[in-house]
Copies of this chain bind each other. A is one copy, B any other.
Amino acid sequence: MKEDEKTMTKPATNESGQALKKSGYHHGDLRAGLIEATRRLVEDKGPDGFSVSDACRLAGVSTAAPYKHFKDKNEMLVAMVLEGMQRHRANMLSALEGIPKGTPARVTAIGSEYVNFARRENGVFRLKFGGFTDRLEDDRLQAAGEETFGIVLREVAACLGETEITPEVRRRGFMLWSFVHGLSFLLVDKKLADMGGETELESLLSDIAERVLVD
């Protein structure tokens, strides 16, 4: 194969995330490039400061290009959030590694990762849960959320010695989720900065887990 000419069509490609700009007439993977640009811009300027035009500039394409890949602005955001939620879920799962099953420590670990994701990927978090983009109530997002909640429920069930998701398990899981969810929002909103330290956070999470999981 002619490496010298064909592969030169995407020199801007860079594994550190710089596959954003195109070089020739065609981009190579504009869809991924736009999603990445969307992510960066939303993190940077906030969900409502984001514009498709900005994403196009970042990706180095014309403002009409996105519409070959996404129905509209909303679809772009949905695609970006879906990607983020996969990362979120993967992070939560990997946070469980090495922690004995059936212990509240697992619940705490999940909660910790949940909060940290909300802080690290603030934009994704707000988009998913903050109520932007009215019809961001996409079925896929809904399903992704349920799946994430399923991880929590499984751990709660184990802690309570249940083998199935009983109504009581669901109830306790819901309590925990509410707490962690609210905690994420409050920390991200910079309310009560004094609770934001890593040790404070761990302390709060394990405290709550114990209070909710104890009979």
Smallest distance from the beta carbon of A10 to chain B beta carbons, Å?
Answer: 30
Does A186 reach chain B (CB closer than 8 Å)? yes
In the complex, whether A192 has a CB less than 8 A from a CB of chain B is yes
Residues of A within 8 A of B (CB-CB), count: 42
Q: Are B171 and A204 in contact (CB under 8 A)?
A: yes
Docked Cα-Cα span, A188 to B13, in Å, equals 41
Give the residues from 135 to 149 in chain A that come closer than 8 angstroms, CB to CB, to chain B: 137, 145, 149
Counted per complex, copies of this chain come to 2
Interface 1/0 per residue, A91-110 and B, CB below 8 Å: 00000000000000000000
Instruction: Give every chain B residue within 8 A of A132 (Cβ-Cβ).
Output: 47-48, 130, 132
Q: Does A182 contact B (CB under 8 A)?
A: yes
Take A130-B131, A204-B175 as given contacts and tell me if A185 and B192 are in contact as well, using a CB distance cutoff of 8 Å: no
| New A-B contacts (13) at CB < 8 Å, excluding given A126-B131, A174-B204, A211-B212 | A46-B131, A46-B134, A49-B134, A131-B188, A131-B189, A175-B179, A175-B204, A175-B208, A178-B179, A178-B183, A180-B182, A182-B182, A182-B185
